[in-house]
Structure 1
């Protein structure tokens, strides 16, 4: 990977982590996204900048919130576009003075004149300073990126929590909502999607995968589905609460996870129902479970 931009290398390392988390080979990753196997080889190898849609698709497959990866991608995109480069200052040659008659005058022997000295061209020195400035900018950008990643890891790594934890610890991982305050909100935005528990994993008769996930820090659940078809609708419901649903209405959703908004849970066991309506002419496939 010699010669690769440091911003590309850092982004590629994070993308490889996401691919491993999603347990996908490069061939499987190409099959679940709109990008070819050879393209993913270049993106994961750090030799090419992936489009943001490719990065976002991998984040969805790995159930990774996008803000941190978006920051790394924007740094790499800025480096690729040259916005972070330092341009070399134009070098202009010193004007040549015209020969004057006084320059050819005879100088007395007892007072020998020192030879006239002119400043040497500074083109090489200016080029050297331009290279040093560019190197300094690249190192600075890399340090800032590493600092952002370290800060995110300190904030985004949850502490070990007991199964009965109802609220996040003051010194630990902070989520954006708890219980009923989560209902209707996005698990990625609230950080409830970080390291969830899987309560249900099923393969529907049509071949779609369906899961119900739960985060004990948020005390909230949501359902997600993949390998879907246009028109599929996923619904998650609990007694006495508004059902949360999501419909597959775009071809881009066919290559990624599609998930419902959050459903906050009350104290005690809560019965849940997850249903996938695949076509208007067939009954929905439903699964029943209890969240504790």
Structure 2
């Protein structure tokens, strides 16, 4: 499933948990639904998006409420259809206004009118008066706007438009994820994983909780895989995002008890009491781990009078 979409992998993981809870094989699941064995192989393997009717049928068989699974299915459906992609806002080119040169009005020179002196007496000089002539004032002209100032304001307007569109798109995506992912609004919501989904708890807050409900069961690490002397399979699994571990067994017998413990912490255990659990995975609640290497002990006891088969390991 390395090439599968992360949303498909998350949905497929939850569907496998539901199938294990319902204690149904692929053949039985195909017989109780309207979909073939090959289709269920693709749905549970994360290589194809199942229709909602198929997911709802599996929820009914496993007595699982549909809202949480519906949210995961809608995330996968949005990724498949491309509706979850954020489109960039179109950039509108800003044209610069043409700069009109303002021509200065020509200044018309005004010639002074000659003054003729009148003679009153031939023996006395005649005083001449010079009349000043005012020149018309030149019309005021405004300097043309500078070209680089207009370009600067155009660039600022374009940058502001792009930033505003990007902030709006990010806000819409964040709001959509909060609506579609109920676990993100809970107080126990942890950090997002690289695949784009949230886990429901971290470390000590996970102790005693169900791996499938908290999404810690998605893409875990297998720390231990053994076959016990009685023929039962036993695994210890760990999710680094949750910093929590749990143990699971299969091919068990009635009365078997599985226990996972850590020094200084209450042990988490589960017993096989129903025939429906014999051919399905039976897992303990989560055990929250401290930071750093943590020693763990997983034990499977068949009856109260026989010694338990125990395995020791270290979680990093």
TM-score (norm 2): 0.46
Gapped regions of structure 1 (runs ≥ 5): none
Q: CA deviation at 1:288?
A: 0.4
- The aligned length equals 292
TM-superposed deviation, 1:278:
1.2
CA shift digits 1:109-156 (9 cap, x unpaired): 999999999999999999999999999999999999999999999999
Q: Return 141-150 or 76-85, whichever deviates more.
A: 76-85
| C-alpha contact (below 8 Å) 1:6/1:142 kept by paired residues | no
TM (normalized to structure 1)?
0.49
Q: 1: distance between equivalents of 2:165 and 2:140?
A: 46
- Higher mean C-alpha deviation, range 93-102 or range 14-23: 93-102
The 1:58–1:255 alpha-carbon spacing in structure 2 relative to 1, beyond 3 Å, is farther
- Superposition deviation, residue 284 in structure 1: 0.6
When residues 51 and 155 of structure 1 are mapped into structure 2, their CA distance, relative to the original with a 3 A threshold, is closer
CA distance in 2, matches of 1:132, 1:76: 39
Q: CA deviation at 1:172?
A: 3.9
Would the alpha carbon gap of residues 186 and 72 (structure 1) be closer, same or farther in structure 2, given more than 3 Å must change?
Answer: closer
| Structure 1 range deviating more: 213-222 or 276-285 | 276-285
The 1:47–1:240 alpha-carbon spacing in structure 2 relative to 1, beyond 3 Å, is: closer
Cα distance change on mapping 1:152 and 1:111 into 2, 3 Å: same
In 2, the alpha carbon distance for the partners of 1:64 and 1:158 equals: 16
Query: Structure 1 residues 285, 52: closer, same or farther in 2, change over 3 A?
Result: farther
The CA deviation string for residues 28-76 of structure 1, in whole angstroms up to 9 with x for no partner, is 9899999998998999999999999998998999999986557899999
Change (3 A) 1:27 1:195: same
C-alpha distance in 2 between matches for 1:244 and 1:195 = 21
Distance 1:22 1:119, change over 3 A: farther
Alpha-carbon distance in 1 for matches of 2:116, 2:192: 63
Asked if 1 retains the 8 angstrom alpha-carbon contact of 2:236 and 2:247, the reply is yes
Q: CA deviation at 1:281?
A: 2.7
Distance of 1:93 and 1:19 partners within structure 2 = 127
Offset, 1:5:
25
Is contact 2:204-2:288 (8 Å) kept? yes
The 1:168/1:253 distance shift into structure 2, 3 A limit, reads same
Q: Distance in 2 between matches of 1:48 and 1:204?
A: 35
**In angstroms, what is the RMSD of aligned CA positions?**
21.9
Q: Return 204-213 or 121-130, whichever deviates more.
A: 121-130
* Kept after mapping to 1: 8 A contact 2:206/2:287: yes
Residue 100 of structure 1 pairs with residue 124 of structure 2 = yes
Q: Shift of the alpha carbon at 1:227?
A: 1.0
Within 5 A, what are the aligned runs for 1:223-262? 223-262=247-286
Answer yes or no: is the 8 Å Cα contact 2:189–2:200 preserved in 1: no
Distance in 1, matches of 2:222 and 2:171, equals: 32
**1:117 maps onto 2:141 in alignment:** yes
Checking the alignment, whether the CA contact within 8 Å between 2:115 and 2:128 is kept in structure 1 is no
Alpha-carbon separation, structure 2, partners of 1:61 and 1:186: 19
User: Which residue is equivalent to 2:62?
Assistant: 62
Distance 1:97 1:277 in 2: 153
8 Å CA contact 2:21–2:281 kept in 1: the answer is: no
Structure 2: where are the runs of 5+ without partners? 84-107
In the superposition, relative to structure 1, how do residues 156 and 194 fare at CA in structure 2: closer, same or farther (>3 Å)?
Answer: farther
Question: In structure 2, how many angstroms separate the alpha carbons of the residues matched to 1:75 and 1:257?
Answer: 27
Query: In structure 1, how many angstroms separate the alpha carbons of the residues matched to 2:60 and 2:218?
Result: 12
Deviates more, 1:144-153 or 1:93-102: 93-102
Which whole-Å CA distance do the structure 1 matches of 2:2 and 2:120 have between them?
45
Q: CA–CA distance in 2 between the matches of 1:19 and 1:214? A: 21
* Alpha-carbon contact 1:236-1:275 (below 8 Å) kept: yes
